[in-house]
Amino acid sequence: MQLPYAEPFKIKMVETIKKSTREEREQWIKDAKYNLFNIKSEQVFVDLLTDSGTGAMSDKQWSEMMLGDESYAGASSYYKMKKAIKDILGFEYFLPTHQGRAAENVLFSVLVKEGDIVPGNSHFDTTKGHIEFRKATANDCTIDEAFDTTIQHDFKGNINLEKLEKVLKENPAERIPMIIVTVTCNSSGGQPVSMQNMRDVKALAGKYGIRVVFDSARFAENAYFIKKREAGYADKSIKEIVKEMFTYADAMTMSSKKDAIVNMGGFIGFKDEDLFKQASVFGIIYEGFITYGGMSGRDMNALAQGLDEGTEFPFLESRVGQVAYLGQMLKDYGIPIQEPFGGHAIFVDAKRFLPHLPKEEFVAQTLAVELYIESGVRAVEIGAILADRDPVTRENRFPDLEFLRMAIPRRTYTNNHMDYIAASLKNVFDRRNEITKGVKIVKEAPIMRHFTVELER
């Protein structure tokens, strides 16, 4: 008999979570203005809001915390992190930052100017936010297959090279500060980019003299999919695959709260010393001196250890396997989801789940509210609310995909929790025809409104 995969760890410490009643949740979500970000964590039973900073650190990472060097300059923790980044990712220079968007802020302060165009694959919302904040434009060149959740494609995160070349051809090179390759591509469903696509993008970028920057939050999950799906990589280790991936990047931004399995932290990796020096100026202003940049010494230590653990095959097999376990259950129940399953999350296709609701009533947000009321599972809308208004016309943007994302924290929940989540969503699915009203916006911020938006049913 084939042995099932089992977690390559055992549990040493637990944290209590509490169930609540439907009546309590109905009141709480109303008080929270139907915004799941306003719900207290103690009002949540299974928290799938994000896989960012919510993973469980290992005994080795906690040991590293004790060894942190909190010196302002030249801390040994900085050098530990530097070595891990060089050894595992291959970047000679780096700047620590407090998280991923801070890395974007520092790097884009050097690179992005008003009127610029930044092509890429479904830029994450903070990435797009930092581009648009500088009055530049993010141009999405993701392959079309990504936008149809029913199509099977091994690498739905891929960049369409024709779309990309069109942007590169039609705009002067000085208007294109970089191409951003997001690995894995969060916004399109935790979908990976193939090694071939990275190679091709780098070659095309080289032809036009444009640099390539990887948004690397989930680079290790991307490497896992390459190993499992791309010809020629089955026998390579995750670390070998990761090394090759980053040969196609000139720089990288990293939210270490994902694949480096820490609660807080990020960095920018550079191949080029000159760009590193220019970015250091902004790093110092925004984040702190270059040897800590917004991070404690102990956090840099835990990050270095996490980079190593996060790029081990047995960990990734159980991590991505758990997400697929949930995905398969939902699929068996007939619930429409993005396929193939994502690396960090299952993305429910809200438009196919609630086809009778008009898009103006924010379908995925409605589904998030219903799921929370059903069982205390907190997931997140990746749809029209997140998409914000068009910065020029101020009209609502309605993206092709309206997702309810259920992100699975690393090493945190068991498969019994996955069963609970699946049953919860199945119950909502069974009563979907009774959900006849969505939500409307009462108050919103001008940018990144999803965090603070106030809604009414």
Residues that bind ligand F0G (CB under 6 A): 50, 52, 99-101, 124, 126-127, 182, 186, 215, 217, 255, 257, 266
List Cβ neighbours of 392 (8 Å cut-off, separation of 6 or more).
none
Q: How many CB atoms lie within 10 A of CB 289?
A: 16
Q: What are phi and psi of 118, to 5 degrees?
A: -120, 95
Extract the runs of DSSP E, i.e. beta strands, from 195-312.
Answer: 212-215, 251-255, 266-270
Place of tokens 């280790």: 237
Amino acid at 6: A
Catalytic site residue 124? yes
The whole-angstrom separation of Cα 256 and Cα 249 is: 18
Catalytic site residue 228? no
Amino acid at 168: L
Catalytic site residue 125? yes
| Annotated active-site residue in 215, 250, 259, 388 | 215
| Annotated active-site residue in 217, 220, 249, 379 | 217
Q: Which is nearer to ligand F0G, 264 or 435 (CB)?
A: 264
Provide the minimum distance between the beta carbon of 457 and ligand F0G in the complex, in angstroms, as a whole number.
25
| Annotated active-site residue in 156, 202, 417, 450 | 450
Catalytic site residue 267? no
Helix/strand/coil percentages in the chain, nearest 5: 45, 15, 40
Extract the runs of DSSP E, i.e. beta strands, from 192-314.
Answer: 212-215, 251-255, 266-270
Provide the minimum distance between the beta carbon of 74 and ligand F0G in the complex, in angstroms, as a whole number.
25
Provide the minimum distance between the beta carbon of 254 and ligand F0G in the complex, in angstroms, as a whole number.
8
Q: Which is nearer to ligand F0G, 127 or 149 (CB)?
A: 127
Catalytic site residue 32? no
Place of tokens 């920018």: 268
Q: Which is nearer to ligand F0G, 248 or 429 (CB)?
A: 248
Catalytic site residue 243? no
Provide the minimum distance between the beta carbon of 218 and ligand F0G in the complex, in angstroms, as a whole number.
7
The whole-angstrom separation of Cα 231 and Cα 183 is: 19
Catalytic site residue 163? no
The whole-angstrom separation of Cα 304 and Cα 112 is: 29
The whole-angstrom separation of Cα 176 and Cα 167 is: 9
Provide the minimum distance between the beta carbon of 106 and ligand F0G in the complex, in angstroms, as a whole number.
12
Q: Which is nearer to ligand F0G, 82 or 98 (CB)?
A: 98
List Cβ neighbours of 297 (8 Å cut-off, separation of 6 or more).
68, 69, 70, 71, 75, 76, 77, 78
Provide the minimum distance between the beta carbon of 355 and ligand F0G in the complex, in angstroms, as a whole number.
26
Q: Which is nearer to ligand F0G, 50 or 375 (CB)?
A: 50
| Annotated active-site residue in 6, 19, 59, 72 | 72
The whole-angstrom separation of Cα 284 and Cα 279 is: 9
Q: Which is nearer to ligand F0G, 137 or 255 (CB)?
A: 255
Residue 319 CA: distances (Å) to CA of 159, 171, 233, 379: 25, 41, 19, 18
| Annotated active-site residue in 45, 91, 124, 248 | 124
Extract the runs of DSSP E, i.e. beta strands, from 70-218.
Answer: 93-97, 117-120, 137-140, 179-182, 212-215
Q: Which is nearer to ligand F0G, 124 or 246 (CB)?
A: 124
How does DSSP classify residue 17? -
Provide the minimum distance between the beta carbon of 83 and ligand F0G in the complex, in angstroms, as a whole number.
22
| Annotated active-site residue in 80, 128, 227, 258 | 258
- Provide the annotated active-site residues: 72, 124-125, 215, 217, 258, 450
